Structure 1
Amino acid sequence: MTAATIDELTPPEDSTRRVPGNKGIWAGITCEFVEFLVLFAVYFIARAHFPDAFHEGAQRLSVVAGTTITLLMITSSYFIACSVNAIRQDKHRAAVIWLVAGLIIALGYPLTKALEINWNLAQGINGESGIFFTVYYYLTFTHLVHATWGILGILWVMARLVFHGYSSKDYAGLEALASYWHATDIIWLIIFPLFYVLA
């Protein structure tokens, strides 16, 4: 292997030390994690005091809805990551296509959640159906709010991307969006098993 080949494979020194996105988005992500840390503490305290209610409540939820939301979050995160990868290579059209795909899949989350809530209400499940459902609605609605902010962020970033607001030299905004969406995705991957699988 020649010295030139080694240089090509070695990333620039500053790229290994750069924080993706910007400081502002990481402050927001930190606040999001702290908020959900408190909510998860409430979940475990309530579960410790009412184990039977949590076990019985989980049996009444739609696992199909929870699984669908999980697949939508993972897929949209992947598409947005592909958009970031494309803009890094100055593939503007591909970046737009991937981001549009990410938005379409992300919009499936609130749609699925609305259908799930309608199904829950038809089964007589609401926020007053017991401690399990009170915690369930509070946590999942809070997550939906954060996801809605993320969807609004996708729309804003997409508008900038379409008008060439990002390039391989400056794509911090797109990367910040991806970081926030991935963080929201990670939180859902914790919520899903706690309510739909393990309770």
Structure 2
Amino acid sequence: MQAELDSPPCALLTAPVTPPVESGRVPGNKGIWVGICCEFVEFLVLFAVYFIARAHFPEAFEAGSERLSRVSGTLITVLMLTSSFCLACAVHTVRAGRRRASVAWLGAGLLIALGYPVAKVLEIQWNLAHGIDGEAGIFFTVYYYLTFNHLVHAVWGILGMIWVMLRHVFGAYSAEDHAGLEALASYWHATDLIWLVIFPFFYVLV
């Protein structure tokens, strides 16, 4: 009973037994972690720009945050977190030898992730209808630059999901060899983490 309580939620829905992961092994591959580190460095620079601009124009940031749609920001957050959960379950189930369940989880993660660019387009349309464009002030210039950069990284992740999904369907991954699926999940989790920083910086203004 205790083992079931300690298992991830997806484990209770799919496989009760999971082979132990090799201790000390980094998931994915070296290439994806180089990419993730570059992504973090890029956004660290952008966050530095954010804080410099905010320090110089505090009133503009305070007023700008009130004009954004928190519903849109919250929806994107839910989509990112849910798709990340599905990818984690895809990795968990393939490790357990349940390839079909892993494919299903990955497919669910892909479908949910596709909701992000759709939600972003709808948000931009809402913004433009309310006079919020790149020339509406320093806050919105920084907002568009950071969120568009994040969207680009998310689109790369979605394209990666499509590629990994095709390989997974045709049996490229197994309990013994699934580094490509782990690499995808690692990248998407990193992109998710960055959004969890962006969301309060713009939509809640912490």
CA distance in 2, matches of 1:48, 1:86: 47
Deviation at 1:198, TM superposition (A): 1.6
Choose which of 78, 85, 92 in structure 2 pairs with 1:78.
85
Contact 2:19 2:95 in 1 (8 A): no
Equivalent residue number for residue 29 of structure 1:
36
> 1:179/1:119 Cα in 2 relative to 1: closer, same or farther (>3 Å)?
same
Q: Is residue 195 from structure 1 mapped to residue 202 from structure 2 by the alignment?
A: yes
Q: Is residue 61 from structure 1 mapped to residue 77 from structure 2 by the alignment?
A: no
Residues 41-93 of structure 1: per-residue CA shift (max 9 Å, x gap): 00000000000000000000000000000000000000010000010011011
> 1:29/1:82 Cα in 2 relative to 1: closer, same or farther (>3 Å)?
same
Superposed, 1:109-120 pairs within 5 Å as 109-120=116-127
Aligned AA for 2:98?
A: K
> 1:151/1:139 Cα in 2 relative to 1: closer, same or farther (>3 Å)?
same
Contact 2:19 2:96 in 1 (8 A): no
Q: Is residue 159 from structure 1 mapped to residue 188 from structure 2 by the alignment?
A: no
Equivalent residue number for residue 3 of structure 1:
none
Query: Which structure has the larger Rg?
Result: 1
CA distance in 2, matches of 1:100, 1:74: 15
Superposed, 1:115-130 pairs within 5 Å as 115-130=122-137
Q: Normalised by the size of structure 2, how large is the TM-score?
A: 0.90
Aligned AA for 1:43?
A: Y
Superposed, 1:77-96 pairs within 5 Å as 77-96=84-103
Choose which of 135, 144, 153 in structure 1 pairs with 2:142.
135
CA distance in 1, matches of 2:181, 2:192: 16
Equivalent residue number for residue 182 of structure 1:
189
Deviation at 1:10, TM superposition (A): 10
> 1:93/1:37 Cα in 2 relative to 1: closer, same or farther (>3 Å)?
same
Provide structure 2 residue ranges, at least 5 long, that are not aligned to the other structure.
Answer: 1-17
Equivalent residue number for residue 51 of structure 1:
58
Deviation at 1:25, TM superposition (A): 0.1
Aligned AA for 1:99?
A: L
Choose which of 159, 167, 180 in structure 2 pairs with 1:173.
180
Aligned AA for 1:114?
A: V
CA RMSD of aligned residues (A): 1.5
Choose which of 20, 23, 44 in structure 2 pairs with 1:16.
23
Residues 91-130 of structure 1: per-residue CA shift (max 9 Å, x gap): 0110110000000100000000000000000001000100
Give SS of 1:151's match: helix
Count matched residues. Answer: 190
CA distance in 2, matches of 1:118, 1:16: 48
CA distance in 2, matches of 1:16, 1:77: 23
Aligned AA for 1:50?
A: F
CA distance in 2, matches of 1:96, 1:19: 22
Aligned AA for 1:178?
A: A
CA distance in 1, matches of 2:134, 2:36: 27
Aligned AA for 1:113?
A: K
